[in-house]
Amino acid sequence: MNQKTLAIIKPDAVQRNVIGEILCMAQERDLVPVAAKLIHLTRERAQGFYHVHRDKGFFDSLTEYMCEGPIFVMVLEGEEAIEGWREVMGATDPAQATQGTIRKRFGENIERNSAHGSDGPDTARFEIDFFSGDLELEG
């Protein structure tokens, strides 16, 4: 099934100038960027994006990290794009991630893990809507 997912290259990876390498990994999986922008989140927006994690012990640190520098936000489209991008990223914790995945190659630790992707269709809808103004998406 053709799908769209929301993908983010996080501040640690943008700072290390590896956006291009990560885009190549998406391309190898036939995931096509249909919208993209470099965005610098405010703390409030980072908290809004990750509101499902507001009760977690790592919430303050996560939202601080996500606005320490620009993020590269994309909508990726392709066959089973949600699961496909999650496979390209690898496990949340880089130490547990498979060789050749984004998080294995670039992630620093479980928080500073270089990439984000929607975890299901409902989340993808919420997350694409969240950035629709920035990405100048219609409707």
Interface with ligand CMP (CB under 6 A), residue from 58, 60, 98, 129: 58
CB-hemisphere CA count at 13 Å for 57? 0
Interface with ligand CMP (CB under 6 A), residue from 46, 113, 124, 128: 113
> How many angstroms separate the CA atoms of 30 and 40, rounded?
27
C-beta atoms surrounding 127 within 10 Å: 22
Q: Determine if 92 is a binding residue for ligand CMP (CB under 6 A).
A: yes
Q: Which two tokens stand for residue 107?
A: 């992630």
Catalytic residue check, 51: no
Interface with ligand CMP (CB under 6 A), residue from 34, 36, 62, 91: 62
Cα dihedral angle (59, 67, 65, 61), rounded to 10 degrees? Answer: -30
Interface with ligand CMP (CB under 6 A), residue from 110, 123, 126, 134: 110
Q: Smallest gap, in angstroms, from Cβ of residue 139 to ligand CMP?
A: 26
Cβ-proximal residues to 78 (8 Å cutoff; 6+ apart), any chain = 2, 3, 29, 30, 31, 32, 84
- From the list 14-22, 25-33, 40-48, 105-113, the region that binds ligand CMP by CB under 6 A is 105-113
> How many angstroms separate the CA atoms of 83 and 76, rounded?
11
- From the list 28-36, 37-45, 71-79, 109-117, the region that binds ligand CMP by CB under 6 A is 109-117
Name the site residues for ligand CMP (rule: CB under 6 A). 53, 58, 62, 92, 110-111, 113, 116
Hey, which residues are catalytic here?
116
